Structure 1
Amino acid sequence: MSDRILGAACVAVGAAMAWAAKDYAAPISYEPVGPRAFPLLLAGLMVAGGAWLVVKPTMNGHWMREAPLKALAFAVVAVFVYALLFEWLGFTLATTVMAVPVGMAFGGSLPKSLAGGVGLGLVLYLLFDKALDVVLPTGLLSFLFGGR
């Protein structure tokens, strides 16, 4: 049942994000993608993932199944900490710091969670910074990424 509650919350938050980002526009065009693309993409993914959690079949066909409520609460706290540390640590480190404990909370081992967190941070940074030309903060790793 908590999966469905989380899914409904994701749909609501994603819809609110999309509504808030609909009017984002740069005063001058300095990036090919623009400031609206990333929040709308995240909002769309949140709504799609949340909708899937609401309607997906559960284990053994039961509507109610036990979910790790502590892990869900931990993930929510980790995302808030991520938002607080994002500018200071930079995208890559903040993503790793968030992904490692969340991965472990949902049953991943430390080495796998660490590898996943580092990989997620680096791949997403390179995707957005190099491929999409979206400027992300480098934080403490500015000496590696060219100091932005």
Structure 2
Amino acid sequence: MYVRLFAASWLLFCAVLAVIAWGFQAPFAYDPVGPRAYPLLLLALMAAGSLWLLLKPGLLEQRFNRRAALRATLCVLTLLAYALLFETLGFVISTALAAFALGLLFTGRPIPCAITAVLMGVLLYVLFDYLLDVPLPLGLFEAFVES
């Protein structure tokens, strides 16, 4: 019962935030997607999760698992470190480090995780910066790029 109550209130909260996010306007066009796309996407994902909990709340009836709780905590800390190091290290390095750490957290082998992380950092940078025209911070690579 409490899970459904939480899910319903969270769904309502997502709807209110979506109405607020719909009005986001940028004073100048700094990126082609605009400021409203990312919050609306995240709110849609949270609303989908809330809807799932409303329909299937019994899937949460599990016992506390220390190993899963530790893994979830480390995952949150990795994402926090990613957010804090994003500007300093730049998109490519911080994304590669975060992807490597998350790959290891989910029982990946070190060498494939490292290769995948580097490819993910570089390819996502190319996708966003060159194809989607979204400027991303270079961080430590700023010294190697000519203006």
Q: Which residue of 1 aligns with 2:110?
A: 110
Identity %: 37
Structure 2 unaligned regions, length at least 5: none
Distance 1:43 1:120 in 2: 25
SS in 2 for 1:107: coil
Residue correspondences, number: 134
The 2-side partners of 1:45 and 1:145 are apart by 37
CA–CA distance in structure 1, aligned partners of residues 20 and 110 of structure 2: 37
Contact 1:71 1:102 in 2 (8 A): no
1:28 aligns with 2:18: no
Q: Corresponding residue for 1:64? A: 62
Relative to structure 1, the CA distance from residue 89 to residue 20 in structure 2 (aligned partners, 3 Å threshold; closer, same or farther) is farther
Once the two structures are TM-superposed, the CA of residue 63 in structure 1 deviates from its matched residue by 4.9
Change in Cα spacing, 1:27 to 1:140, as seen in structure 2 (3 Å) is same
Structure 1: unaligned runs, 5 residues or longer: none
1:17 to 1:71, Cα distance in 2 relative to 1, 3 A: farther
Whether 1:77 aligns to 2:77 is yes
Structure 1 or 2, whichever has the larger Rg, is 2
More moved, 120-129 vs 37-46 = 37-46
Which moved further from structure 2: 14-23 or 110-119? 14-23
Change (3 A) 1:85 1:34: same
TM-score by length of 2: 0.68
> So what's the TM-score if we normalise by structure 1?
0.67
